[in-house]
Amino acid sequence: MIQEIDAALADRLVRHGEELLTAFHREYAQNPVGTATEYRRGKVAEWKQLLALLYGERAAEELILRAREGTRLSIPPSGPLSSDGQSYEGWDSFSDSFIGELR
C-alpha cells in the first residue's frame, strides 16, 4: 500500500495514467509508428518517470500497475523506436513486453 501518498491523490494519479494509456492505445491502433502515437507514448513515459522521481520506484510501480489493471491495457516501453520502426529498443521495468489488451 502507498503510505507516502494520500488515497485521493493516488486515485487522481492513477486516473491520469489511465487517460494517458487509453490515448496511447487509441493512437497505436490507428498507426503503430505514427507521430501522434509516439507523442502519446512519450506522455506515458513522462508520467512513469515523474512518479518514480517524486514518489519513489515502489510507489510508482503500484500506481502504474493500478492504471494498467484499470484499463486492462499494456504499459508501453520508454525506449526509442527501433530503426526499422517495428519495435522498441531497450526495456524498462515499468513496461510490458507487448502492446495491446491484457488477457
pLDDT digits (tens, 9 = 90+) for 81-96: 888 877 788 777 889 8
Q: Do 11 and 59 form a contact (C-beta atoms < 8 A)?
A: no
**54 residue type, one letter:** L
Sign, Cα dihedral of 63, 78, 37, 51? positive
User: Can you give the pLDDT at residue 14?
Assistant: 98
pLDDT in tens, 24-65: 999 999 999 899 999 999 999 999 999 999 999 999 999 999
What is the distance between the alpha carbons of residues 42 and 47, in angstroms, rounded to a whole number? Answer: 9
pTM: 0.90
